[in-house]
Structure 1
Amino acid sequence: MKLIVADDESLIRASLVSMIQDMESEWDIVGEATNGEELIELVKQHKPGVVIVDIRMPKLNGLEAMRAGKDISPCTKWIILSGFSDFAYAQEALKLGASEYLLKPVDPVELEKALHQTAKYDLEFMRLLNQQFENSLFALCHGLTSLRSEDRNSLFYRGFFVGASIVFDTAKQGNEIPDLTCQMYDDLRKGMNDALIHGNQFALLALPNGELATVGAWDPNTGAGGKERVQRFFQWLELKAACYHPDVQITVLRTCECLGFEQLNVQLQQLQSRSSLRALCGVGGTIARSDLEAASGSPHKTKLSGLLNSLKHHLQARNFLNYQAAVNELEHVLLNKELLSPEEKRSVNRFLSFTVGVSLVEDASPDVMIRSLRQLGETVLLDKKQKDPLAGDLAEQVIQYIENHYMDDIGIGQIAHQLQVTANHLSMVFHKKAGVTFVKYVTNIRMQKAKELLLNTNLQVKQIAEQVGYYSTRHFTKLFTEHYDSYPSDYRKIHLGNVMK
């Protein structure tokens, strides 16, 4: 959100600007004014969201500038600064519609509270705070930061959360499916923005296994509105997923309602580890965590669902030997005396139809299923030529891409789109090759580059953050501190100091 600072004392202006730049939320300070006339010109030019103005200024005082500014930019909010002797002026400012009133010298905590209170109902500000929430949640889910780095009064400790892992299943190949995945991402982002109000937060992120996830959270102290909007968003998500595209089955794996991030994270990890069970629970709908937990109690069903999912990944990798080995093992598992229910059989047939392209009648026997899968392997996999772009080492291509683009906003889904594979498959292949998840690998590269810039240049921390791919200095600092157990500025002082000795 755009912000203007107006005070005739340069030291006070510099102090205010420094306080604002150190805040968790990123304000766009578009101008500084030394008198009321300068302030009016800046308001005309920028139409800011918030103005912080001293009551006593040359040419036009704060009250006069506020009267004129409200005519120029009616949506601008005003925060008034004054001393004890200006109490009558402050009362007049509040009558004119000032949002907040602060005494000099300004306390940083009180200033941040005033800015949050002033802007909390502004959509642009809510989205700014929501982006910060999403950044922090992403870092926590991927183990880049720990919960101890978050304020004890934050939503991550006292808020309520609901999450969902969103899994795409299709037998289609080529650019069409990644395009559909990106479209779903855009639709989800729009849906979250529409549901965002004061008191709730949303996040859209890739989980460590590459699957897309969405999370809603609400503050229990702001009434029922936040919870209701989160619930309505997830109802909308489930309806949208159920009828998204005839060639794609989107399965929504839902957590329970969780108190705090720790509970949410445990349940999201469970959803990832049990995702393959959708082959038996049914793709193309919503599956509650409790249903996945019940299905996971059967070792036979867990092994069967894992094998069914492996067929999909072997097809994508064009790995004939592993595919046929999985089919052979699947045949052995299907001979087990523990029978599937009619509904589970239908779910398996539906899963195979939408993952490997084998169409089976509802009551097809295991023999028919195995024969069809073997035929598919012979006709599809063995016919693939060396020119197939998927025949190369996907992980090496990803590593090379990261080396060239670590400073950009990159994700596993974006790279999977370019390589024409699913994000889940690419994430699995990369983790096996690199030994760490995609996100941790990218973060390690960025932190290493940041360390080099700190020690070999005079760039400011904010500039270094931007050069290695972070546009929130606070978020970069949090990650760097977690990585090296030192603030970036302290790291530079300590290590350059040691060099000088």
Structure 2
Amino acid sequence: MFQVLVADDEEIEIRALEMMIRHDFPEEVEIVPGAKNGLELIAGIQKYQPDIVIADINMPGMNGIEALELIRAKYPRMKILISTAYSDFDYIRRALKLGAVDYLLKPVDRETFQKTFSALLARTGQERFEEDAERKIRRDVGEMQSIAGNEFLSSMLLGDVTENSFNHYLRSLPHPYHGTVVMMVQTSHDGTGGFSNMRKGLQKTISGILSQYCSVIGKSYRNDLYFLIFLPDEMDDARWLRYLKDLAELVSKKLKDYPVRLEFSFSRKGKTVQEIELCLEECRLALSQQEPENLHFYRDPENRDSEELPVETRQHIQAILKNEGKDEPEKLSGHLQQAILYMRQNYAQDLSLEDVAAQADISSFYLSRLFRQELRCTFVEELTQIRIRQAMQLMKQSRLSMREIAVLTGYRNVTYFYKVFRKSVGAGAGEVRELLRSGMENKMGSIG
């Protein structure tokens, strides 16, 4: 139902129009109290905010033209139908230019009014329908963006993200895509109950703060919070770093009274799926730097002194590359020799103990015993060593992305690759790659 306000300096004109409306449009229109001059018209509009106003353009106090200028400025969607006894069409054209949707010439006959008012109701109804539809679209788009964003971030944390899921989310962004930064928030607590729910509430709070300044996806995962921050426009390195610092300081300030300690870490800017996956590792590396502040920004390993890696770690990297401590296949028993050669040739495949045992023409139980007796390790440990050594060679000799290196060495899940690499080597894949590329292996060779 639409609300209508009638304004005219003649009481009888108001009543005549109201009577026609009640008689011909009883189910569609509600009439609010009328106005006898321009000032009453403005007051009535402010009080009732009707959908349609029928106003004489020649009223005392403030004429319809003056009132129309004020109405249009404050209520641009309100429909104004002017009525006049003037035959000066220039005057009518002025009113139409100011936003009146149509006009009626006095005396208004019923047939003309029915036709004009019916068309106005249809137009108003269509616009209301379109406005409702637009609101629904915005709501649905927002919900779809939230769902797509959470699915994308979840798959990214689990290492299962694809180009399709990434592009699907990008299509829902309200602005062009200029790159992404990962923010990780580590929380500490006193061991009291209910902290899991508190962390989820914290994630929503931080997402709410950040969403006022950028597009963001947030998720609580295990004991930490992760946020993908989509940069609002193209920025050079200095500007986006300043932008992130401002965001971090803003969040820290608003959460300064939060009952737990918060540590913030930021990755470098990434654009592709592969770069963003590497951002997760960069966040963890930044957080492990043990700086006194609670804000940590990833520092490019190229700018680090290689001495930051412990001597033991660098020695271990050298040993893996040279395969120290392992007998060469020709020094091993025949079956184990055959198994090792097969593993070195097929490490990129999804190998199992049973697969390799079949190639060596022995049982998996016997092969497992040979690994322990002759190499003093398990099948999985030896396969991991082969894969990690090959990954290091690719890091040193190629410009492949970490995701590509992971796949080429038998790891379909790049996040799992990062975990295995750090556990095996004692340092992150990004650190080791930059170390190898910068020629630090020469310095490692002088240690001992």
Structure with higher RCO (Cα < 8 A, 6+ apart): 1
Q: TM-score range by the shorter chain?
A: 0.3 to 0.5
Calculate the TM-score normalised by the size of structure 2. 0.33
From the CA coordinates, give the structure whose radius of gyration is larger. Answer: 2
The alignment's TM-score, normalised by the length of structure 1, stands at: 0.31
